[in-house]
Chain A
């Protein structure tokens, strides 16, 4: 997409704020609406916008499909890994209270932060990967 000066400038201005909003939704999920799923799709939407304006090849130079293929299962592994970790710390599966031996509520916050990070990784990379596969077939 060579022309479209306005689209290029506006999307370049918008994308950092989109990503910042996604991070806000991610880390503010304990206090306001949001969490891993919402943040993940916002991240994916920001990258899809970039790919639409600057081209799929340019996008795949930044995030290669191979990296996404690693990120999709990695998110699930992080989530399940937190569960296994709480097992070894003496609790039940996904019993976040065990993550902090002094204050279980800190463990809850830490556990939610970690599993939400896993959800974000899987959701964002799956959306982007599906977009890559669809958009890549047209050529």
Chain B
């Protein structure tokens, strides 16, 4: 049953990807991107990664779709026709895809309990989390307590992203305003 669900979701996912490549209208591309994120979130939930699925649904399908739409508001809604032949990009994409598929051959089987990640630190966390922190959700105790440094770094990354966007977009706007003042 799970195999069937995954198969259907992956088929939908590839259909959406093909549609994104084919469609020239950027509004449709943004909406299809939202659909892609929702399918991805469902797939992640089917793989029991509920935390990641929630983030994907809220960020990928929700906030970033709105951000792309508001960016689209500032530009044209149709993709400009390609100036160069697209044989080389297609060949490069297919080659990269093949290399990635080749890479998955070396991955351990999904859900295998004998892999290093399940026998080495992972087992240690599962064993020690509840006696040491009494937090039932091991994901949270690893994220916020055992790996608190990493999460602090992630928060700092988001902070930096926000500051970066602010400096790029707000700074330029102020300069344009000044130019207008100079002219008048």
User: What are 19 A-B pairs at a CB distance below 8 A?
Assistant: A29-B140, A30-B140, A32-B137, A42-B58, A48-B62, A94-B152, A105-B132, A108-B135, A108-B145, A109-B133, A109-B135, A115-B144, A122-B155, A123-B155, A126-B161, A127-B59, A129-B162, A133-B165, A137-B173
Considering the chains assembled together, what is the distance between the CA atoms of A135 and B137 in angstroms? 38
Considering the chains assembled together, what is the distance between the CA atoms of A108 and B134 in angstroms? 8
**Shortest CB–CB separation between residue A107 and chain B, in angstroms?**
9
Contact residue range for chain A?
Answer: 35 or more
| CB-CB under 8 A for A112 and B134, given A41-B55, A76-B156 | no
Residues of A within 8 A of B158 (CB): 122-123, 126
| CB-CB under 8 A for A72 and B159, given A96-B145, A112-B135, A115-B144 | yes
Q: Mark B residues whose CB is within 8 Å of A.
A: 50-51, 54-55, 58-59, 62-63, 66-67, 70-71, 73-74, 132-137, 139-141, 143-145, 148-149, 151-152, 154-156, 158-159, 161-163, 165-166, 169-170, 173
Besides A33-B139, A109-B134, 5 new A-B residue pairs in contact (Cβ under 8 A), listed by A number: A41-B62, A76-B159, A108-B133, A130-B161, A137-B169
**Shortest CB–CB separation between residue A71 and chain B, in angstroms?**
10
**Shortest CB–CB separation between residue A122 and chain B, in angstroms?**
5
Residues of B within 8 A of A76 (CB): 152, 155-156, 159
Cβ–Cβ contact A134 & B134, under 8 A: no
**Shortest CB–CB separation between residue B101 and chain A, in angstroms?**
30
Residues of A within 8 A of B51 (CB): 33-35, 38
